[in-house]
Amino acid sequence: MLYFEDYAVGQKSSFGSYHVTREEIIEFASKYDPQPFHLSDEGAAGTHFGKLSASGWHTGAMCMAMLVENMKNQQHASLGSPGLDELLWKRPVHAGDTLRVETEIIEKRRSASRPELGLTKNRIRVLNQNDEVVMQSVNVGMVAVRNPAHTD
């Protein structure tokens, strides 16, 4: 199990592979973001997207799926997240794209009020098969502390 003490500022990871399908783009958009450019090529044709594009929220959900799978595989002692400091959708995601994730720990500190957890600030980038950044965010993660009684 990887605990707060096992993380270091500057630590980087690269993982995941998520193939985006047309059916999934339309299914997600139909339920959560039914704008024309997320529902059909015809609806996207006259926009800057040009063709069917995944909702940014869908891109975030695909990123989350890869993050959680990595946490399970690496046995991270994650306790969730209180939120994001930044979220940018940089490029459209289209059917046929394959996404992956890169992370970097940019800050870490122990919680002042809850000794059982530490906080990490992470820069997250989602890239497509051409190594183009399609989404980036700065997330705060809560991670279990191995020994809460130890104050270092």
Record the pTM: 0.94
**Strands lying side by side in the sheet with 12-19:** 12-19, 98-110, 117-127, 133-144, 83-89
pLDDT of 150 reads 77
Summarize pLDDT for 71-124 with one digit per residue, the tens: 999 999 999 999 999 999 999 999 999 999 999 999 999 999 999 999 999 999
- Domain layout of the chain by residue ranges: 4-144
CA 59 to each of CA 20, 24, 66, 128: distance values in angstroms, whole numbers, following the listed order: 9, 11, 11, 11
pLDDT surpasses 90 at 28: yes
Contact 136, 88 (CB under 8 A): yes
pLDDT of 151 reads 67
Structure token digits, residue 33: 């973001």
pLDDT of 149 reads 83
Q: Candidates 3.40.120.10, 3.10.129.10, 3.50.50.60, 3.60.15.10; correct CATH number of 4-144?
A: 3.10.129.10
pLDDT of 108 reads 97
pLDDT of 18 reads 98
Summarize pLDDT for 43-76 with one digit per residue, the tens: 999 999 999 999 999 999 999 999 999 999 999 9
